[in-house]
């Protein structure tokens, strides 16, 4: 069986950045995803298509096909008083913020007096990502998985 739309695929993976730093890995607990349902970054899903169980490969996904390029409009200065109730703000702190597009995760990039620079880009935006992949299993998705739009069971959503 090959990786194709409406199949649940389990993969072992190690994710590294351009410097070779390990950012994430499955560590013997394969990730299960529903192929063709946007459960993975677009470039990785495209690389997995038509591969067979047991396939091992390394692929580098360009930022545009991963978490996107850095969007300058998602970086902005906001007044400190928006962080009401937080006494000690520090660079690197992450918050959930209400925006015109709903809730967004933002990270503090800089603090300049009463102005705080926040960035709502994904933490991996602007980065090319390298994946070492092994396809551990491929199976046809259940009707419930197709209805929910994600894999269930080991390595998938537990509900």
From first to last of its 159 residues, the chain has per-residue pLDDT tens of 999 999 999 999 999 999 999 999 999 999 999 999 999 999 999 999 999 999 999 999 999 999 999 999 999 999 999 888 888 999 999 998 877 778 889 999 999 999 999 999 999 999 999 999 999 999 999 999 999 999 998 877 776
**Structure tokens belonging to residue 108:** 């503090």
Give, rounded to a whole angstrom, the gap between the first and last alpha carbons of the chain: 27
Name the class of domain 7-67+125-148.
alpha beta
Name, in order, each residue with C-beta under 8 angstroms of 15's C-beta and a sequence gap of 6 or more. 22, 23, 24, 25, 129, 130, 131
Name the class of domain 72-119.
mainly beta
> Does the CA dihedral 129-31-10-6 come out positive or negative?
negative
DSSP state of 144: H
Instruction: Give the residue among 122, 48, 109, 121 at the shortest CA–CA distance from 77.
Output: 109
Summarised one tens digit per residue, pLDDT across range 22-62 is 999 999 999 999 999 999 999 999 999 999 999 999 999 99
* Domain edges within the chain: 7-67+125-148, 72-119
Q: What is the pLDDT, as a whole number, of residue 159?
A: 67
């Amino acid at each position: 069986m090959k990786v194709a739309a409406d199949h649940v695929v389990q993969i072992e993976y190690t994710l590294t950045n351009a410097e070779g730093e390990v950012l994430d890995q499955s560590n013997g607990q394969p990730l299960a995803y529903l192929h063709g349902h946007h459960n993975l970054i677009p470039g990785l899903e495209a690389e997995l298509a038509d591969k067979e169980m047991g396939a091992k490969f390394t692929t580098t996904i360009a930022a545009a096909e991963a978490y996107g390029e850095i969007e300058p409009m998602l970086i902005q200065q906001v007044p400190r008083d928006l962080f009401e109730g937080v006494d000690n703000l520090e660079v690197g702190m992450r918050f959930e913020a209400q925006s015109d597009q709903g809730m967004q995760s933002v990270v503090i990039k800089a603090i300049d007096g009463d102005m705080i620079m926040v960035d709502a880009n994904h933490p991996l935006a602007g980065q090319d990502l390298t994946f070492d992949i092994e396809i551990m299993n491929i199976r046809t998705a259940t009707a419930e998985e197709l209805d929910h739009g994600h894999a269930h069971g080991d390595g998938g959503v537990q509900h």
